[in-house]
Amino acid sequence: MKTFSASRALLAATLAASLSLPVAPAMAQDEGPIKVGILHSLSGTMAISETTLRDVMLMLIEQQNEAGGVLGRQIEPVVVDIASDWPLAAELARRLIEVDEVDAVFGCWTSVCRKSVLPVFEELNSLLFYPVQYEGEESQRNVFYTGASPNQQAIPAVDYLMEEEGVERWVLAGTDYVYPQTTNLILEQYLLDAGVAEDDIMINYTPFGHSDWQTIVSDIVAFGSEGKKTAVVSTINGDANVPFYRELANQGVAAEDIPVVAFSVGEEELSGFDTAPLVGHLAAWNYFMSVETPENEAFIAAWHDYIGTEDRVTNDPMEAHYIGFNMWVEAVEAAGTTDADAVIDAIVGVEVPNLTGGVATMLANHHITKPVLIGEIQDDGQFFVVWETEDLVPGDAWSDFLPESAVLEADWTDPVNCGNFNTETETCGGSDLAAE
């Protein structure tokens, strides 16, 4: 098995070496290790969130190899750095599949990354396990969505703010790409349907890596000063969160005045800056490190042992990789092969433990069942769970709150075998209608 270092230099050398090796004959490949691709940003604006996902995948693979591997074969990780560059992500995904001959890939964070690589996985009939919350409006045969869809994060978060915090005015603040845009389209319609006036909804987008938040935060403060309880629903991604929260503190925006509920800020992001001014702000996820279960305790202990320090935190996308990887292992063992078509058939209905004490099930729409938790930021950078769903929530591929999507269903089993089956016309329209 290759040894991988956290340093980018060694990762680059490892990748270069893997790309220069001659392709082994099919027979030798079947007898050798099973290769798994790890496709994450280890540099650039998204490295703050994605580097730890590379690390947890290496841990999971090491654990599985110690347990005997898969189908009696060891698993060999092939790591690439997509460098927060979406065309590069597609190029490296193709190399992983065609040159390194990986049998599955675990990766991406942003939806623009996922959409960039999706055609590659479809063309080459390979498997992508995508571990981050996203906007929905998609179901692709070769992709398994182990993060939350809007009905497993965004909608419950808005319900909580309405019902528990009495919020009446809404700031939908996001990074300018497909996930925030589509999520906010769904949330805007959901709020309007709930009777919120159009004037009580403010929408703002900023580029990746945005750093000058003074004017935007001033606008948020002004918007929230008109006598109605106001909240910020944040789909801001990557390292732009650091100056955003810093500017909130600079302008004295306290959680009791204008709470922020974030969908892309977890323990890893909070570990990068002083959390004292953020105490009381919220995040909606399906897992928090602070959850007290035997499964989570064992996972955290294994993580700290692997990484060599107790300072490194765990977070929701790490749990999603944990679930997705274990589902892939179960499906490969059930199918008796790593062949993509066989794994796709075998994985629907697979159940594995999550870290919050329940069971995640892979649904026919290639989404999974998840609990939904709202956590309040504490001064130690952890979250105190203030609310959670009573039951597991099945992930929806298509939103019930957009008219064009409400009639669509995804089911990758026979006889439907379609990503967006129109229940009114009983026809299959393709796999992806989301905004590009």
How far is residue 28's CA from residue 19's CA, in Å, rounded to a whole number?
Answer: 18
Q: Which of helix, strand or coil describes residue 385?
A: strand
**H/E/C letters for each residue in 61-130?**
HHHHHHCCCECCECEEEEEEECCCCHHHHHHHHHHHHHCCCCCEEEECCCHHHHHHHHHHHHHHCCCEEE
Q: What is the CATH number of domain 8-148+293-371?
A: 3.40.50.2300
Domain ranges within the chain, ordered by starting residue: 8-148+293-371, 151-290+374-394
* pLDDT at 3 (0 to 100): 33
* pLDDT at 30 (0 to 100): 60
* pLDDT at 429 (0 to 100): 85
User: Where would I find the H helices in 205-288?
Assistant: 214-223, 241-250, 267-270
Asked if residue 47 lies in contact with residue 37, where contact means CB atoms within 8 angstroms, the answer is no
For 247-277, what is each residue's pLDDT tens digit? 999 999 999 999 999 998 899 888 877 788 7
How far is residue 41's CA from residue 52's CA, in Å, rounded to a whole number?
Answer: 10
pTM of the entire structure? 0.88
The token pair that represents 213 in the structure block: 């938040």
Residue 342 dihedral angles phi and psi, to the nearest 5°: -65, -40
Residue 304 dihedral angles phi and psi, to the nearest 5°: -65, -40
Of 117, 340, 436, 314, which Cα lies nearest the Cα of 130?
Answer: 117
Q: Which of helix, strand or coil describes residue 105?
A: strand
How far is residue 346's CA from residue 335's CA, in Å, rounded to a whole number?
Answer: 6
Q: For the chain, state the CA radius of gyration.
A: 21
Weakly modelled stretches of the chain, pLDDT under 70: 1-30, 430-436
Question: How big, in percent rounded to 5, are the helix, strand and coil portions of the chain?
Answer: 40, 20, 40
- How many Cβ atoms from other residues are within 10 Å of residue 115's Cβ? 23
415 prior amide bond cis, ω within 30? yes
Considering Cα of 336, then 340, then 342, then 346, what sign does the dihedral take? positive
Q: Do domains 8-148+293-371 and 151-290+374-394 have the same CATH topology?
A: yes
Q: Which of helix, strand or coil describes residue 367?
A: strand
* pLDDT at 238 (0 to 100): 85
CATH topology of domain 151-290+374-394: Rossmann fold (3.40.50)
Q: How far is CA 414 from the centre of its chain?
A: 28
* pLDDT at 7 (0 to 100): 35
Label residue 366 left, alpha or beta by phi (over 0 means left) and psi (-120 to 50 means alpha): left
The token pair that represents 48 in the structure block: 């703050």
